[in-house]
């Protein structure tokens, strides 16, 4: 098995059977060994910005913050100690709050690349989960409000005649390194990408479509190229806000590029030598280091060594 990508591989036993054990969960909330991660509007608490790590609080924070069941998510256990996330997004004046003011809240977009992979994975999970909860405060079937169940991992409609349960979701997106079977691959500049950043193609999977079909369709839509030999590489949770990236290699069977100018500014074929010499400036820079795109590009370059 490959080393997990950044944002995967949280070092914690999810102990999912415990989620529905209300008595056990209630006991853990008063257990001195319990650890709590505070989340405020997509931001988690970290130690510092030099060598950041998750800053865990102990169970006394739950009392100090008057934690309500709807704000809590049981994450799992580390060495028998229960770990929770507590969503304090409702606090408006965080800077003057007696508990929160002294803590450093950071968004994963900023701090993600600086964290150890295990902590990045945990914050990615919590960011994705709290985003899902924020967007499902009302039942999608009848419109009544929802309440948390299963220690924060389910939302249940409060209308007894409906009682629909909603489960956390993540949106599959394919991301693909398209190569010519020799020494060139396609990189593109998206209209929303940072200046100079070239990366591999990506897009969301549509209902009724296999992953292989999504790869072929997206490549053809974005650059007009046909592909074959679609092979899985690895995957990466990407909670910005709620995706999982599914990485593939694909071999081009046509080579002329016809760029979709709605999604892309430019696209081109690049050799390994060109990418190895990337100046990392506004003419050409590779994607951010915490992304599966960067890893796939670097591994493909290394295959030519
Ligand atoms: Zn409902």
**Distance in Å, CA 147 to ligand 1 centroid:** 11
Residue 183 is predicted with a pLDDT of 96
Q: Which pLDDT tens digit goes with each residue over 23-67?
A: 999 999 999 999 999 999 989 999 998 899 999 999 999 999 999
**Distance in Å, CA 160 to ligand 1 centroid:** 8
In 3-state terms, what secondary structure has residue 220?
helix
Mean pLDDT of all residues in 181-185? 96
Contact 5, 236 (CB under 8 A): yes
- Cα 58 from chain centre: 26
Residue 2 is predicted with a pLDDT of 81
**Distance in Å, CA 151 to ligand 1 centroid:** 20
Answer yes or no: is pLDDT of 305 > 90: no
**Distance in Å, CA 243 to ligand 1 centroid:** 25
* Other CB atoms within 10 Å distance of the CB of residue 226: 13
Contact 292, 260 (CB under 8 A): no
Answer yes or no: is pLDDT of 69 > 90: no
Mean pLDDT of all residues in 114-131? 96
Answer yes or no: is pLDDT of 259 > 80: yes
**Distance in Å, CA 135 to ligand 1 centroid:** 15
Structure-token pair, residue 212: 């292989």
Residue 304 is predicted with a pLDDT of 87
Residues of the chain above pLDDT 70, percent: 100
**Distance in Å, CA 208 to ligand 1 centroid:** 26
Q: What is the pTM of this model?
A: 0.93
The CATH T-level fold of domain 171-303 is Nucleoside Triphosphate Pyrophosphohydrolase (3.90.79)
Average model confidence (pLDDT) for the chain?
A: 95
Q: Which pLDDT tens digit goes with each residue over 72-119?
A: 999 999 999 999 999 999 999 999 999 999 999 999 999 999 999 999
**Distance in Å, CA 131 to ligand 1 centroid:** 20
**Distance in Å, CA 138 to ligand 1 centroid:** 8
In 3-state terms, what secondary structure has residue 222?
helix
Residue 138 is predicted with a pLDDT of 98
Answer yes or no: is pLDDT of 122 > 90: yes
Checking phi first, is residue 68 left (phi over 0); if not, alpha (psi -120 to 50) or beta?
beta
Instruction: Determine if the peptide bond prior to 219 is cis (ω within 30°).
Output: no
**Distance in Å, CA 130 to ligand 1 centroid:** 20
């Amino acid at each position: 098995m490959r080393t997990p990508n950044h944002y995967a591989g949280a070092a914690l036993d999810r102990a999912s059977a415990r989620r529905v054990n209300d008595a056990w969960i209630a006991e853990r909330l008063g257990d001195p060994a319990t650890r709590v991660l505070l989340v405020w509007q997509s931001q988690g608490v970290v130690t510092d910005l030099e060598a950041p790590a998750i800053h865990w609080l102990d169970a006394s924070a739950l009392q100090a913050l008057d934690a309500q069941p709807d704000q809590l998510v049981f994450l799992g256990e580390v060495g028998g100690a229960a770990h929770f996330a507590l969503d304090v997004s409702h606090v408006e004046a965080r800077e003057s709050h007696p508990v929160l003011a002294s803590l450093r809240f950071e968004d994963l977009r900023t701090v993600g690349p600086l964290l150890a992979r295990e902590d990045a994975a945990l914050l990615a999970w919590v960011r994705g989960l709290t985003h899902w909860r924020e967007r499902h405060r009302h039942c999608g079937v009848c419109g009544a409000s929802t309440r948390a169940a299963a220690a924060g991992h389910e939302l249940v409609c409060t209308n007894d005649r409906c009682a629909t349960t909603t489960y956390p979701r993540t949106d599959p997106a394919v991301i693909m390194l398209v190569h010519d079977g020799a020494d060139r691959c396609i990189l593109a500049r998206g209209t929303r990408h940072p200046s100079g950043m070239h990366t591999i193609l990506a897009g969301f999977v549509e209902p009724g479509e296999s992953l292989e079909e999504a790869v072929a369709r997206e490549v053809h839509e974005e650059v007009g190229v046909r592909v074959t030999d679609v092979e899985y590489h690895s995957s990466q949770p990407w909670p910005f806000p709620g995706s999982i990236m599914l990485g593939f290699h694909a071999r081009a069977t046509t080579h002329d590029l016809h760029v979709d100018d709605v999604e892309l500014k430019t696209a081109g074929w690049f050799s390994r030598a060109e990418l190895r010499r990337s100046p990392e400036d506004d003419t050409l820079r590779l994607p951010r280091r915490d992304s599966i795109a960067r890893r796939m590009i670097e591994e493909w370059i290394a295959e030519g060594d």
